[in-house]
Amino acid sequence: MKRILVVLLILTLGHSILQAQEDAIPIDIGQTVEGSLSETQPFAYYTFEADAGTVVSITLVSSDFDAYLVLLDSNGNVIAEDDDSAGRLNAMITTELSDTGVYLINATSLRAYRSEGEFAGVGNYELTLTSDDTTTTLEPIIDISIAYGDVITGNLSGEPINFTFEASSGDVITATLESDEFDTYLFLLDANGVELARNDDFEPFENTNSRIENFVIPEDGTYTLQVNSFGAVVGIDEESGTFNLALMPGVATSSTPVPIPSPTATPPPPMPSPTATPLPPIPSPTMTPLPPTSNTEIAYGDVIEGYLSTNTARFTFNGTAGDIINITLNSSDFDSYLLLYDENGFEIARDVDSGGDLNSRIGPFEL
């Protein structure tokens, strides 16, 4: 048995951000710089000045480690962060700046970011800062249009493939990615490239296909479904093969998987239909006060309501290696943040908004 600690944490950056700003290297819009990360210097900081309304793109590329980017304002507030949006474990942030002033870039590795510097990704990198008035020489990811009702057959050959579609606020969508040839991984991004949801293995399918189910679109605009493989995302191997991607209107009150219809294009040999496993009913929640310093026990199937009066509420549960878990944190009062730790206190997963509407969700996650 494992002892798992779930922590809800409102992060504060404090003195470390002030030190980072003092140590940061200036970078200009339109500039590309090269550098390296080491065991003793797992983070590299850069500052730049920009006007309100400027749309900036920041790209971190490395063949030595899984790149991770964080963009902060002058007060140390996180504006955006990214892991793999530039493809091949490279990171990219594209966002419109709300204020005129100085901004801070944290160029690091996913390993260092998740361990808060205890472990490091080591090697060389290239950092590029551009705006909507400049261009970048980086090779773009393949981009294809998709619409509601479409089923597209494609071939993944290493680079992630982006499928863009138009959606309106309140639309409910379900996107399904299937392949017999590789372990699929599906991302949903907004118009600025910010990740809204992701899925590796949709649990009811009992296989390695992916589904983002009944996601509520937050605002009118262009959205992207990014097709990738599990191996490429985690840095093991860039898998390849034929896939089917379906984009369908979802049903907000249903959690039952809907089979993908046959694509209109000439498909590869049909894949077997997944066998859906009905999810157990959620029990009625019970109000439980959340102690600020002690741990509250929670078990599989529990739904707990509480009031957060401090920065952190801690819950512990028992899990067995191989268990597939889902943890969801919902609040209409604050932007939730969910972290999962193992019995030794090491972070093994975190999430901000994958639950939609500023709610958090970790899972399906294998212990």
Q: Residue 107: name the closest of 191, 25, 182 by CA.
A: 25
pLDDT of residue 266 exceeding 50: no
> Look-up: residue for tokens 């599906």?
186
Q: Residue 315: name the closest of 292, 335, 346, 344 by CA.
A: 292
Which tokens in the block code for residue 365?
């996650």
pLDDT of residue 104 exceeding 90: yes
| Ranges in the chain annotated CATH 2.60.120.380 | 11-131, 142-249
Q: Residue 161: name the closest of 175, 143, 178, 173 by CA.
A: 143
Quick: pLDDT tens for 64-73: 998 999 999 9
First to last CA, the chain: 10
**Residue partners of 40: CB distance under 8 A and separation at least 6:** none
What burial class does residue 92 get, using C-beta atoms within 10 Å of its C-beta: 0-12 exposed, 13-18 middle, 19+ buried? buried
Q: What is the pLDDT of residue 101?
A: 93
> Look-up: residue for tokens 């262009």?
222
Q: At residue 80, what is the residue type?
A: A
Q: Cite the DSSP H helix spans in the chain.
A: 14-23, 110-115, 230-234
CB 146 within 8 A of CB 218: no
Q: At residue 88, what is the residue type?
A: R
Quick: pLDDT tens for 21-61: 788 999 999 899 999 999 999 999 999 999 999 999 999 99
Cα gap 188→227, rounded to integer Å: 9
Cα gap 144→153, rounded to integer Å: 12
> Among 162-171, 311-320, 345-354, which is the least confidently predicted range?
345-354
Better-scored residue on pLDDT, 287 or 50: 50
Quick: pLDDT tens for 210-255: 999 999 999 999 999 999 998 887 766 778 899 999 999 876 544 4
Hey, is 137 helix, strand or coil? Answer: coil
Cα gap 292→125, rounded to integer Å: 41
Q: What is the pLDDT of residue 349?
A: 82
| Cis peptide, bond prior to residue 269, ω within 30 of zero | no
Q: What is the pLDDT of residue 133?
A: 59
CB 283 within 8 A of CB 302: yes
CATH tag for 11-131 (out of 3.40.50.2020, 2.60.120.380, 1.10.10.10, 3.40.50.300): 2.60.120.380
CA angle at 46 for the pair 42 and 50, rounded to the nearest 5°: 150
Beta-carbon count within 10 A of 286 CB: 10
Quick: pLDDT tens for 155-185: 888 788 999 999 999 999 999 999 999 999 9
| pLDDT (mean) for 282-286 | 41
Topology classification of domain 142-249: Jelly Rolls (2.60.120)
Which tokens in the block code for residue 133?
């008035």
Quote the percentage of the chain above a pLDDT of 90.
38
